[in-house]
Each structure stands twice: as structure tokens, then as C-alpha cells.
Amino acid sequence: MPELLKKVLNGDVRGIARAISMIEDQIIKTGTSEAETLMQDIYPHTGKAWVIGVTGSPGAGKSTLTDKLIEQYRAEGKKVGVIAIDPSSPFSGGAILADRIRMQRHTDDPHVYIRSMGTRGSLGGVSNGTREAALILDASGKDVVIIETVGVGQSEVEIMKIADTVCVILVPGLGDDIQIMKAGIMEIADVFVVNKADKEGADKVARETRAMLDLLKDKSWIPPVVLTIAEDGSGLPELVSKIELHKKFMNDTKAGLLRIEKRTNTEVETLLLSRLSGRVEQLWGTYKSDKIKDLLLRKTNPYAVVEEIITNL
Amino acid sequence: MPDKIRVVIAKPGLDGHDRGAKVIARALRDAGMEVIYTGLRQTPEQIVATAIQEDADAVGISILSGAHHFYFEKVIGLLKEKGAEDIIVFGGGVIPEEDVPDLINMGAGAVFGPGTPTGTTIEWLKEAVETNK
């Protein structure tokens, strides 16, 4: 067994950290990278951890809530992995990753692993290696993996492809219910959290959210709405029990299993797309010298060229 | 594309002056690095655990309290203990020049005093990470 794989499976912190860096640095595109071999080896050891997504607008309290979730799960004796994503600068490619400031009290707990990731150009609220990082933590023996997305607006929905239970954090004071109704963020929630419940308007947000859920077409799972004050931990036990309820729904009902199947579908499609996009440059490269002149002289057209390339695949 | 440089910027102990740490964090970000910022009042144990979990290439310690001797020794010692002595340790803040050789002897890569242009730190760090590979 390769050394790195062995370390990951043994829960060795350095091994896990190295493995995640490897998949971050080698975006899955070629099929021959070390990272891909590692993921193929790791996959059979996954499927044990429950992956929780924590998403919501900047300042909604995602990091503080994550910190409190760690506390809850640790009290139950569960091992916890955390992936906290912050935006990379589109200008320098660098990033300041500071979500863990709110979780530092768990840093020297040997059963908690916290990893910060930069989005590195990915726009969906997570980074390109987030799914793989979650799988690595799963294989390393964590019972729960919490993914904290970047502060999302209204369309960063990638987390639903990765997490088993998506918690969408709402807070009072961010506008009326029309904001929540707009496409995207509403549809991805398995559990709604109205955080900062001690602030004025929290009840109204909860009420409006529940009212909106009446209009759901698929009533097999109606996302519960939980009021929390992450700062002092109020509502956290209820949140954990709702997540547990959702886990039961996913694992024990036909509708839940159907959702898991749909997600696996998406997972393969996403990988396939990423691999194919890696081949685009190479494919076009073999045709380029042949076609570019004709294209410039308008003797042929891009549509015909693409059709020809695809037919000859 | 070369692997991204990841740096932990930490403030140990009780002094609350984090301006310097924030300035260097931003400068490193603008130089294309990923900076993991831990916030204030970190214990050496927390700093070392963070560096290992984050697979950091380097740890930058900012100290203005005068306790640099203690913290450098502790952090470098703990890294060794965990088999992570390949992680570079460097520092900045208010550290008297005559104390610097001592810190370097302990295993610190470099110490940057007040007024050091951020470019100097960036260049040094890039080179140190490169030669460390």
C-alpha cells in the first residue's frame, strides 16, 4: 500500500494534510496524476462520514456556528473534520484564510482536523478540491465532516453536490422574502438556520421561510427551520437533531436514496466534464494548424469544425 | 504551475497588537500566497497544530511582547517533536537585534525587525520555501 494512503487511513494528521495539498495542487484533469491515483485508492474507504454543508451570506455566522457544531459532535464523542473555504484573490491568486480564527479552541483536540482552502478561481462557493478533501477526511476515520463555504450570495450552489445535509444560514435584516425567493440558495437547503435569533426580525425571517416552504413541489422532505444564537450556543442541540433527522430521511427512505443516486450521477458528470475540458486544448491543438487559415478566410466556420472534431473523437 | 505557498501567520501570547501581522498577511496574499491567519492569543501548541493541519510551508510569528525567546523555542521544539521540523519558522515584531542570532541558532529561518519592507520578507520566504523542497 502506498505510504501516503496508509497514513491517511491511519488518520495521521500530516498524511491527511499532505494528501489534501496534493489534490489542491493537481487539479483532476489528466487521469494520470498522483492525486487521481490517490483518490481511486481512497474511494473504497469512504461513505462512512456524514458531510454537512454550512452556507450563507458573509457575516451570517457560519464560522461561529461551525465552531459550535464541532463542540456538539465532540461531546457525543464523534471525530470531526472541517473544511473552511475562503475566497482567493482574483488578482494575485493569494488568499487570507481566516475562518479558523473562530474555531481555534478545537485546534489541539486530536480528534478535530481543520483545513482552510482558498477557492482558487472556482466560483460555486467551494474550491475545486473540496469534494476530494471531504473524501480524504471520510477515509481518515472522521464521523462528521463539516464544509463551510465562502460567504455566498444567491447562486453559489455547488455545496449541494458535495454535502449530505446542507444547512443554509439566514439572518434578520438582509431584506425581504423576495430575496430568499430568488433562484438558487433556497432550493439547496435541507435545514434552514435563522441565526442571530436574538436580533429583531428573526421571527419574521423564520415565518417567511416556512411560508415559502409551503410551495415546495417535492414534499418528501420539508426543510425544518431552526432558530439559533451561535454566539452562545442557543438552538444548537436542536440543529444537530434536525441534521440527524435529515440523515435518517436520506438513508432510510426511497426519496432520500433517490437524492443520493442523483448526486452520484452529478458527481460523475462533473468529473467527466473536468476531464474533457482538460482534453479540449489538446484536441483543438491537433486540428488547429489545419483549420485556422480556412477559418480566417471564412472558408469554413467554427460550428462545422467543432462538429468534425466531435465526430472524430 | 508551481505548488502554492501556504503560510501560517500567528500571534502567540497575550499582546494584542496585530497590525503588523495583518500587514504581512496582506502582503503575502498579494504575492500570491495562501495565508492562514490564526488570530490573537495563540498557544505554541495551537500554532504547531495549525501549521501541521494546514500543511503549511512556513509559520510566521509576530511578537511585540518581548517573549520571543520563549515562543520561538517552544514552537520550534514542538515542530521537531511532531516530526515537522521541515516547516520553516520566521518572525517579526519588536525583537532587539542582539537577540536575533540566538533565535537563528534555535532554528528560526529569519527575523524581520520593524521597518523591513514587505518585499524583503516575500523574497526571502519564496527562496526559503523553494530551497526547502
* Chain B residue whose CA is closest to A12: B53
Using the predicted structure, report yes or no on whether residue A6 has a pLDDT greater than 80: yes
pLDDT for A155: 59
Q: Which residues contact A291 (CB under 8 A, 6 or more apart)?
A: A300, A305
Q: Which residues of B touch A (CB under 8 A)?
A: 1, 3-4, 6, 25-26, 28-39, 42-43, 45-46, 49-50, 52-55, 82-84
Using the predicted structure, report yes or no on whether residue A105 has a pLDDT greater than 70: yes
Using the predicted structure, report yes or no on whether residue A240 has a pLDDT greater than 80: yes
Q: Look over chain B and give the mean of its residue pLDDT values, rounded to a whole number.
A: 92
Region B21-29: mean pLDDT is: 94
Integer Cα distance of B55 and A97 in angstroms:
13
Measured CA distances, A4 to A16, A46, A103, A304 (Å): 8, 16, 27, 47
The amino acid sitting at A272 is L
Whether A100 and chain B come into contact, CB under 8 Å, resolves to yes
Measured CA distances, B118 to B24, B29, B92, B123 (Å): 7, 11, 11, 9
How near does any CA of chain A get to the CA of B60, in Å?
14
**pTM, to two decimals:** 0.91
Tens digits of per-residue pLDDT, B37-82? 998 899 999 999 999 999 999 999 998 888 899 999 999 999 999 9
Cell numbers of A153, please?
A: 450570495
Using the predicted structure, report yes or no on whether residue A271 has a pLDDT greater than 90: no
With an 8 Å Cβ cutoff, are A98 and B42 in contact?
no
pLDDT for B1: 47
How near does any CA of chain B get to the CA of A109, in Å?
9
With an 8 Å Cβ cutoff, are A104 and B6 in contact?
no
With an 8 Å Cβ cutoff, are B32 and A92 in contact?
yes
pLDDT bucket at A58, cuts 50 / 70 / 90? confident
Q: Are A4 and A15 in contact (CB under 8 A)?
A: yes
| Residues of chain B contacting A27 with CB distance shorter than 8 Å | none
DSSP string, A141-207: T-SEEEEEPP---SS--THHHH-SEEEEEE-TTS--HHHHHSTTTTTT-SEEEE--TTSTTHHHHHH
Region A85-102: mean pLDDT is: 92
Q: How many CB pairs under 8 A join A and B?
A: 85
Q: Are B52 and A14 in contact (CB under 8 A)?
A: yes
pLDDT for A275: 82
With an 8 Å Cβ cutoff, are A107 and B29 in contact?
no
| Residues of chain A contacting B55 with CB distance shorter than 8 Å | 14, 17-18, 20-21
Tens digits of per-residue pLDDT, B80-92? 999 999 999 999 9
With an 8 Å Cβ cutoff, are B36 and A116 in contact?
yes
Q: What three-state secondary structure class fits B70?
A: helix
The CATH code for residues B6-132 is 3.40.50.280
**A45 Rama class: left (phi>0) / alpha (psi -120 to 50) / beta:** alpha
Integer Cα distance of A278 and A280 in angstroms:
6
Using the predicted structure, report yes or no on whether residue A52 has a pLDDT greater than 50: yes
The CA dihedral of B74, B79, B83, B89, to the nearest 10 degrees, is -130
| CA B118 and chain centroid, separation | 14
The more confidently predicted of residues A151 and A36 is A36
Measure CB to CB from residue B49 to each of A25, A107, A120 and give the nearest one: A107
Q: How many CB atoms lie within 10 A of CB B133?
A: 8
pLDDT for A302: 95
Q: Which of B7, B29, B79, B133 to substitute to test the interface with A, most A CBs within 10 Å?
A: B29
Measure CB to CB from residue B37 to each of A20, A89, A101 and give the nearest one: A101
Tens digits of per-residue pLDDT, A272-313? 888 888 788 888 888 888 899 999 999 999 999 999 988 987
Q: Look over chain A and give the mean of its residue pLDDT values, rounded to a whole number.
A: 90
Using the predicted structure, report yes or no on whether residue A2 has a pLDDT greater than 80: yes
With an 8 Å Cβ cutoff, are A17 and B52 in contact?
yes
Integer Cα distance of A68 and B10 in angstroms:
23
pLDDT bucket at A178, cuts 50 / 70 / 90? low
